[in-house]
Structure 1
């Protein structure tokens, strides 16, 4: 308001210093300040906030896009007047850490996964509490929206004594980083204010973490302890060893789109969607080098490796603290066309390309890479 046209950046977080009280914080400042602040601490860290502005909450707005808190106040941190510092006092840290295992809602106020399945679409769009154990953690998937914004998505599978597998979808960076640190089959979660919706593609209910959700890992409650014992027993007896069906089963995809309809739907949909299109490859450019066909990607998160091939370029890669592992994969950039138009810049990757070409990456790498023409001739022959 003071400087019209000047960009302001913001992000929110929630802090807690007692079993009964927690409060939302909104930080405002320049892009550099906010990016630095978001990278300086994570969920579970202990921080000291100097000189925040204390204001009353707007009852109609403040709890709409952030966790619902028992406090009538909220805090505002500004670049000019406030500081957020990581706490270095071990006595304080040891006193605060047990709070991270106390749910922010009544520990007995939750739905079992069986309750959600039984209620079905009557719960569509509702926000509830869930107590469940982690069965598996899926791969992190990166995407770019039609307006150029980059995002990420990850899916975990939950279970309890009533349902063996239930999807939990995560879009937020911080929530994804938290879940990536968990040990499947050995972790129980109390998920407060998670959104429940009906997924028309799967024909089933799913849970989605949103801006109101707070996840408590291994909550210190009787109910969580009983579920943890059940999960351990099931894991030891091999009750969770059977393989799950893949997330995206091609046989279950029935929606058919023209290329023009795909373009239009991508502008309208903010989440990934699935469908069938009958089209042909109208452009495949492999003239410049083999790098147009094959890239080196991290085996853990599927991100492209650095130029020297010695590290992953993904800051959120779950294996950054471990030894780097990479593999050469097909990465074809093609155009596809039908009677309605052309879809430019489609990416075909392994193992889809290997199935289409009936050819592995190793075969292509066996060609004379010094002669791009030979690669093109071989690719044309395979196509």
Structure 2
């Protein structure tokens, strides 16, 4: 163990037995469920609360831990640690588990026992990362199942409904992480949902759904197109609405991020080699797959606030939306040396090579001839400036660019240079109301990738009112995200 704990005698999980006198154990938290409340049969009208987690202290041993108690105690204990942290548990009750009953809803473990925590007798302490032995930390990158025991995403799609309802293992790369969605059911219970898109060498996009807060929090720590996950005991279902197979994280599921296995290393190399191909333009993907209601975007920001937000929230991957009242300060539409339109593949929306005019993306579902048609699309990078600063290299593409300029891409290319310059100065001299989508990205200039969703000349009175009486939305956004 680490030096801080060298004087303490911990019982290995493999040595646990009932009736041990005040056992003390240490382990990494590899799985965790949400807190739930149930009617207390002994005290009618009141509730008991519970949550479970799984700890591991060696490559071969891990065990489930359950705690029951009053609401304040259970919620406080649950909030005190996360998946991936190390905990010390003192004086838990060691019980023989009923395998069929216990493992129906909990992770399947090699131990014959389970641990119960008591508010009055048990203690859980959190270890800081610098105190933890490296042997324990390495367990976070070791799947709980054989590293070769998994389905590829292509296998799942090929098997189709034959796998409906099955619980299997999956090894894949994280492609994207959706926004957490919060809702209230008809019986007034609050719920949440997050969709993670996966991919591998065999399938370009596969949906994994998270319905509990713990798995959603875990997903937010992953890096799109970099993180590889091994999801043990994940449920596969046929989604009738989408007419495709999906995966769902359940209470039995244990997810290992960036596994240290040969199979995961091969997949990680594949992710690096194809990073550019998978980083499809978000605006095009939004047009093809996402309908954004501009009426739901109401927060007004300044450039200064957006830049401050990027600095304070570095590393987060979910998008946010806002309105900017600004001038287009750079609009190179009348410069013959700057390309303003490029061909895209009709199948996947990815830019195609000018030389071959053929889609080279390994994730494109091409037809039997191996080709897809292409279409010409605006591809502009513009700068937006207000009284506080400038947002550089904002993406204005596709139909949004056509609506902004008032011409289709073919109509615009047929204009004279003089006509293009006239259109350009209409925007450079007038303030616009611009709806934007933002992604916080350390690789982008200023930490922000910015996509224009709508750009129209602003009403002067509306712009003046919003800029003069605008509250500081930055604090609101930080608290929300």
- TM-score, L = length of structure 2: 0.53
Of 61, 66, 88 in structure 2, the residue corresponding to residue 21 of structure 1 is 61
Instruction: Output one character per residue of 1:315-365: Cα deviation in whole Å (capped at 9) or x when no partner.
Output: xxx94998xx88469xxxxxxxxxxxxxxxxxxxx99xxx9xx99999867
Q: Is the 8 A contact 2:234 2:249 kept in 1?
A: yes
Q: Is the 8 A contact 1:23 1:75 kept in 2?
A: yes
Of 59, 75, 78 in structure 1, the residue corresponding to residue 118 of structure 2 is 78
Equivalent residue runs for 1:134-173 within 5 Å:
134-173=174-213
Judging changes above 3 Å, is the alpha-carbon distance between structure 1 residues 50 and 114 closer, same or farther for their aligned structure 2 residues? same
Q: Is the 8 A contact 1:131 1:190 kept in 2?
A: yes
Q: Is the 8 A contact 1:49 1:84 kept in 2?
A: yes
Q: Is the 8 A contact 1:111 1:130 kept in 2?
A: yes
Q: Is the 8 A contact 2:297 2:322 kept in 1?
A: no
Q: Is the 8 A contact 1:198 1:205 kept in 2?
A: yes
Whether 1:241 aligns to 2:287 is no
Q: Is the 8 A contact 1:133 1:231 kept in 2?
A: yes
Equivalent pairs, count: 287
Cα distance in 2 for residues equivalent to 1:31 and 1:227: 43
Judging changes above 3 Å, is the alpha-carbon distance between structure 1 residues 152 and 78 closer, same or farther for their aligned structure 2 residues? same
Taking only aligned residues, the RMSD between alpha carbons, in angstroms, comes to 3.6
Equivalent residue runs for 1:44-123 within 5 Å:
44-88=84-128, 90-123=130-163
Residue 216 of structure 1: aligned partner: 256
- TM-score, L = length of structure 1: 0.66
Q: Is the 8 A contact 1:194 1:208 kept in 2?
A: yes
Unmatched 5+ stretches in structure 2: 1-40, 302-307, 325-434, 437-452, 467-481
Cα distance in 2 for residues equivalent to 1:328 and 1:30: 45
Instruction: Output one character per residue of 1:92-135: Cα deviation in whole Å (capped at 9) or x when no partner.
Output: 34331100100001111000001001001111111100000111
Cα distance in 1 for residues equivalent to 2:187 and 2:288: 25
Residue 227 of structure 1: aligned partner: 267
Q: Is the 8 A contact 2:85 2:129 kept in 1?
A: no
Residue 34 of structure 1: aligned partner: 74
Judging changes above 3 Å, is the alpha-carbon distance between structure 1 residues 246 and 124 closer, same or farther for their aligned structure 2 residues? farther
Judging changes above 3 Å, is the alpha-carbon distance between structure 1 residues 152 and 363 closer, same or farther for their aligned structure 2 residues? farther
Cα distance in 2 for residues equivalent to 1:173 and 1:8: 20
Instruction: Output one character per residue of 1:59-91: Cα deviation in whole Å (capped at 9) or x when no partner.
Output: 221111111111110011121111111024845
Cα distance in 2 for residues equivalent to 1:47 and 1:361: 58
Equivalent residue runs for 1:279-298 within 5 Å:
296=299
Cα distance in 2 for residues equivalent to 1:361 and 1:13: 55
Residue 246 of structure 2: aligned partner: 206
Residue 392 of structure 2: aligned partner: none
Residue 231 of structure 2: aligned partner: 191
Q: Is the 8 A contact 2:297 2:321 kept in 1?
A: no
Q: Is the 8 A contact 1:297 1:326 kept in 2?
A: no
Q: In the TM superposition, what is the alpha-carbon distance from 1:250 to its structure 2 partner?
A: 8.6
Residue 176 of structure 1: aligned partner: 216
Instruction: Output one character per residue of 1:220-255: Cα deviation in whole Å (capped at 9) or x when no partner.
Output: 1000001100110011xx22133575599599xxxx
Unmatched 5+ stretches in structure 1: 252-292, 299-309, 312-317, 330-349, 369-383
Structure index of larger Rg: 2
Q: Is the 8 A contact 1:328 1:361 kept in 2?
A: no
Judging changes above 3 Å, is the alpha-carbon distance between structure 1 residues 169 and 248 closer, same or farther for their aligned structure 2 residues? farther
Cα distance in 2 for residues equivalent to 1:361 and 1:10: 55
Judging changes above 3 Å, is the alpha-carbon distance between structure 1 residues 245 and 99 closer, same or farther for their aligned structure 2 residues? same
Residue 334 of structure 2: aligned partner: none
Q: In the TM superposition, what is the alpha-carbon distance from 1:6 to its structure 2 partner?
A: 3.4
